[in-house]
Amino acid sequence: MRVLGVDPGLTRCGLGVVDGGGAQGGREVRFVAVDVVRTPTDAPLATRLLGVGDEVERWIAVHRPDVVAVERVFSQHNVRTVMGTAQASGVVALLAARAGLPVAFHTPSEVKAAVTGEGRAGKEQVAAMVTRLLGLAEAPRSADAADALALAICHCWRAPMLDRMAQARERSAELARHHRARLAAAAAEAAARRTALGGGALGGAGR
């Protein structure tokens, strides 16, 4: 499975591609590519979103991922930053959907816990673990690049569990549908019997 991890943002948007799976029960991960898309802060919003979108679209075409993993946006103190991040995230999800790719959203704490074992790990710790897990000669040069790779790694490791959970929900829903169908059939059969018995009684009274 090839995952494109995206740490969304307008000023800096991290992109990282990782291949997951292998002989170690799906825990093996391999580095493919990483970069950071930058847009000028004085450019119009639409132009900045277009710049991010163009590069994400190019990465999808070049690296052909199976899934796109995006950091889930949370409210912070800086509302303007959150808005820009959310807008960039929406553009990424749109482009992934247009390419026919599933999109998975992971919270920062999920990513940190998956990569470091600690949901409150700092950026330096995340970067160090990403470097170690992918066997890189040096740490990614920016936190955005490291976070993008961490997102991709997180999804590689969480995807099997998420698939099992989805299958379990589908089985549960299917059982519930069967149960409702059986109850409806039983209710219809009981109603039909009552109607038949009522009709027979009336017919006998008429004779």
Contact yes or no for 155/106 (Cβ under 8 A): yes
Alpha-carbon torsion (103, 53, 62, 137), positive or negative: negative
Q: How far apart are CA 207 and CA 194, in angstroms?
A: 21
Q: How far apart are CA 56 and CA 62, in angstroms?
A: 10
Residue 54 labeled ligand binder: no
Distances 22 to 1, 19, 27, 102, 181 between C-alpha atoms, Å: 9, 9, 7, 21, 42
Active site residues: 7, 71, 144
Residue 110 labeled ligand binder: no
Look at the block and give the residue holding tokens 């490791």: 157
Residue 42 labeled ligand binder: no
Q: How far apart are CA 97 and CA 88, in angstroms?
A: 14
- Bind-site residues: 7, 71, 144
Summarize the annotated binding site for Mg(2+) as residue ranges: 7, 71, 144
